Amino acid sequence: MRLFAAAFAALAAQNAAAFSPGVTTVGRRFSSSARMAEKTALSQDELKKMVGYKAVDDYVKSGMVVGLGTGSTAYFAVERLGQLLESGELKDIVAIPTSVRTKEQAESLKIPLVTLDTHSKLDVAIDGADEVDPDLNLVKGGGGALLREKMVEVCAEKFIVIVDESKLCDGLGPGFPLPVEITPFCHEHTIRTIAALPSCAGCDAVLRMGSSSSNKPDGDEIAITDNGNYIVDLHFTEAIKDAPKMAMELKNTVGVVDHGLFCGMTTAVIIAGSNGISVKEA
């Protein structure tokens, strides 16, 4: 707790309610960022960089198998892993990317890559989230990589989530649409079936259009995931009452490949705020 307790006391007080942070630690490599945060107000990208770097500094050791997440915050964790491998501070690392774009970034940094076919057990996976509730249940998939993310992260001994404080919520649903990956075959039927599920009552099910990496329509063609599937985004006006139950109902629906509810998977959430970094442990 030493350096961060002093540097980020303000954020700890701010998050003392539903998201009171757990014990926060810092490695030697990250101490300069902590001192920087004491002196300056940081931009959102700088905060994402700090939290991405901290995740790698604190949780990745030489010889590990590491899951690499997808998104604007996970980007910095991948960047940091590449830096430490290049400098020799980390050795004998292999990594599993969760999307084509993360694979391309990792390859550009010369991070050795493997797949679940050869490495079914991971030491740690690091990724962002679109929403985090007080029980550390997540909504993920805004970037369209939810299936590969879940396949990789469920195999990790530790799953470290990195977010900025805007992603914290009292209940999942209203703040960010829930993505569900579905098969193209009879997709309109599957969308109607999803909307009729008891746990999804009242949702507005919207087929994602344009790029699969954004839930904002940016094209006239149906969005296609890395896996060749479609995504339907479920918009809720009220908080999801029972996320694990909804997760089960969606998973049991024929035509659904997987969904963006990540329940009971999180080891710790590293939170970037305007005053610095805090950690909430499961």
Q: Give the start-end residues of each E strand in the chain.
A: 65-68, 94-97, 122-127, 131-132, 138-139, 156-164, 178-182, 204-207, 230-235, 256-259, 261-262, 268-273, 276-281
The one catalytic residue among 131, 149, 153, 181: 149
Known catalytic residue at 149 = yes
Cβ neighbours of residue 233 under 8 Å, at least 6 residues apart?
177, 178, 179, 180, 205, 206, 207, 208, 215
- Dihedral, CA atoms, 139, 104, 64, 22, nearest 10 degrees? -30
Q: 151 — phi, psi (to 5°)?
A: -60, -40
Cβ neighbours of residue 177 under 8 Å, at least 6 residues apart?
206, 215, 233, 234, 235, 236
Q: CA-CA distance, 252 to 250, in Å (whole number)?
A: 5
Q: CA-CA distance, 57 to 53, in Å (whole number)?
A: 6
Q: 245 — phi, psi (to 5°)?
A: -65, -45
Residues with a catalytic annotation lie at 149
